[in-house]
Structure 1
């Protein structure tokens, strides 16, 4: 259950195993959810269910000196996106993409030996929608919008 939300069902919900193992895991990929009803008699049925994966997304400020000539193109796009910028800092770079619900759908760290950053990211597994691209290098970060069709 996400912080600040109210469960839509009552009763006891007891996972068969602890859920801490899922913290910081990517939500991408195939997952299996098994639901068991151990009631001795038929006390009802499941007609609908959903699972909400929660994650906080920090909206970052732009450090213009750290991300000169920032380009994210093509935008909108469908299968790949290019990200480039020139930085005053030569630390490693982390690119993280979030959907608008705040779920992390992509994250990769890039070892950087240059002030110039220029990478192409394959995004053909993402569904159509609006995403937030967070770029982090050293203590500086910025977030830009990306549209996938």
Structure 2
């Protein structure tokens, strides 16, 4: 994961009474906001991002827009994002009550592949072709897309396969295509 943004919606008459944090599946907690906003009210589509220019501790309620959190969201970088994320909201005052509406996470990352992930043995046969092409290979994904192009680079056909075994096998019906040379 390369970055995390957190957006919250909380209706509360006194945001200074609230402490809000986010905890990753690995148990790492980051403080988003604590006792901010004086006697103002509400977090409305409030996004916390390490790329923000304004700090939440220097802003005033109602909080709308994007703010730099009090904690450092970059501690989540390079962590696995799979699992349960927990948003914790603590109301420090018994005299005021509010309502938690919702929250959302924007989890961005780049999956890296090794050379071993890119190599796989592919078998394609039906020679001479009768229009049915047999395709077989070891897949690194449970989803496969096979695209057929002519020699001019024009898309001729596309096949999508979802939730298949790691040893992928299928028959492609290409009888609707003219006899020619195609790129798979």
TM-score range, shorter chain: 0.3 to 0.5
Larger Rg: 2
TM-score by length of structure 1 reads 0.42
Q: TM-score, normalised by structure 2?
A: 0.35
Higher helix proportion? 2
